[in-house]
Amino acid sequence: MTTARLLRETDAADYLGLAPKTLARWRWAGKGPSFHKLGSAVRYSVEELDLYISGAAVAR
């Protein structure tokens, strides 16, 4: 059994090169990477962020 590495919103935003407010807006709009709620805390797994990045690739 492996434990997912979870990042705080600010760390996840840094990881993606975005502002934390962007992630908050995306959560409110129901888009963006998957996240976890631990009580009132929002956390993002590194694995899910990587999946989101790979799914956002644009082929030209």
pLDDT per residue rounded down to tens, the chain (60 residues):
566 789 999 999 999 999 999 999 999 999 999 999 999 999 999 999 999 998 887 777
CA gap 30, 20 in Å, rounded: 15
Question: Model-level pTM?
Answer: 0.84
How many Å apart are CA 2 and CA 13, to the nearest integer? 24
- Amino acid, single-letter form, for residue 37: K
Look up residue 7 and give its two tokens: 């990042």
